[in-house]
Structure 1
């Protein structure tokens, strides 16, 4: 492999890191915004993208997005497409939330959607392999009822026989949208109260126990979790799941919804703003930063 090729992959990876959930939040919502924006401009040049001597930050972000869509379709781009072309076209954010990197069992679900139903989306880009897929899906079914894998449209054959019939399949299309290839079937046989409880923060699992049983166990802090599990053991796993979903749905502020759908917010930024729980003051600052010239 030539040095030029190595440098190309290094530069693409660095650009992808800036165009990620954490990278975009770091650039758009921290004090060193100008330094981050200048670095982005430098990375675009290193990747062979022509940029104007003076460019708006929004232009730099959009150029990065387009370049990565062609040359390095990393996970965040799939998540952006999932929000923009699937979620916003099929659901209302007023009663739907998305959770990012949700830990369940020994795995982290890339994206979870909760409204009247609940769905897990496991993203496998062309940069990934199906190596851990079986274990991941098995973990997801311990807390959720519908699981989808999201793959590039060219890799359907690679993944079709890797998953059970009740697992849904979505594809990242050549038009950069997420399309439904095969719907998931509701599957509740593996739901596990212990795994759901461990996925919650302490105040959340205490809320769950109180809402279901009407009381909290009398136990020392060290023994509280085990006492809660014992208390729930006589209740239906589906009742526990319903409350579990209701509680984790509270993690996203619904006031963010209108702001992230504003046309002034670039497509690639919308998801990062959503997971940042963008408020009105932050939105005003964001728009100012997008119109700043570097």
Structure 2
């Protein structure tokens, strides 16, 4: 099928946190039923809900229709789960970096951020995004479709890595990113963290946090960060976030999901095992039953 604008919107929204959470919490989703009916996909009699998600994803993967979720799926499968594992690496989505939010970052030995520029995106904000990412992440990659690659190469500094997602959804590395951990901004990193994570990093670096009221704790810790070496803070951030935001507890759940649903599962991160089982059972149901979900 060649989806129109309305159908394309419905296809993308099927992979939204709202649908994922609703299924895991209720074992059904009226939003899923409504969106799938709007996609124009003709379901088969033996099709399950998981099959329906896969069919929708297959359409989104076609060149020209690909949205951010398709790129995130490629990074998840090829980098996070392909090169690394959930036991050795962690992934951050929508992570604050200055005035921007990073599409996806992977923490392994270092912190690498991936800015997605799909066929549906423009490059107007890219310069500002890169300037903000440099304050938090050691390595920056821009991953784009073939139509954007030359523009990305021409309009980004040589230390910024560039990747291409081709028509077959394979990722190729066009330019290697340079590790710049010594140039991050400790204060910007601090502002991206939860209070417990910020304190843990200070403890890791041997800095004693003054015993002050909670009302001024963050400003006190901020002053501490201002005195630290960028590279030390960056490395401590990686160690801390790999622990506090570990994805290892999700490993078994992720393995039971079809490839099309793994990126949203890693983003929403349902850690309640009852909800995980409820989700697995729901997507195993026949699609014809799911279309009656209310």
- The answer, yes or no, to whether TM exceeds 0.5 is yes
TM-score range, shorter-chain basis? 0.7 to 0.9
- Retained in 2: the 8 A contact 1:252–1:275? no
User: How far, CA to CA, are the matches of 1:177 and 1:26 in structure 2?
Assistant: 29
| Counterpart Cα distance in 2 of 1:221 and 1:74 | 42
Matching of residues 4-153 of structure 1 within 5 Å: 8-20=4-16, 22-31=17-26, 33-45=28-40, 49-53=41-45, 55-70=47-62, 72-153=65-146
* Displacement of 1:102: 0.4
Find the counterpart in structure 1 of residue 157 from structure 2: 164
Pair 1:175 & 2:168 matched: yes
**TM superposition score normalised by structure 2:** 0.88
| Structure 2: runs of 5+ lacking an equivalent | 289-294
- CA displacement at 1:189 relative to structure 2: 5.0
Moved more, 104-113 or 8-17: 8-17
TM-score by length of 1: 0.88
Of 243, 248, 258, the match for 2:252 = 258
How far is 1:284 from its partner?
2.6
Report deviation, 1:248.
2.1
Does 2:234 align with 1:241? yes
Alignment: residue pair count: 283
RMSD: 2.2
Query: Residue 270 of structure 1 aligns with which residue?
Result: 262
Separation in 1, partners of 2:4, 2:167: 23
In 2, Cα distance between equivalents of 1:215 and 1:196:
18
The CA distance in 2 between the partners of 1:51 and 1:283, in whole Å, is: 25
Structure 1 residue ranges, 4+ long, deviating more than 4 angstroms after superposition: none
Cα offset, 1:24, TM superposition = 4.3
* Alignment gaps of 5+ in structure 1: none
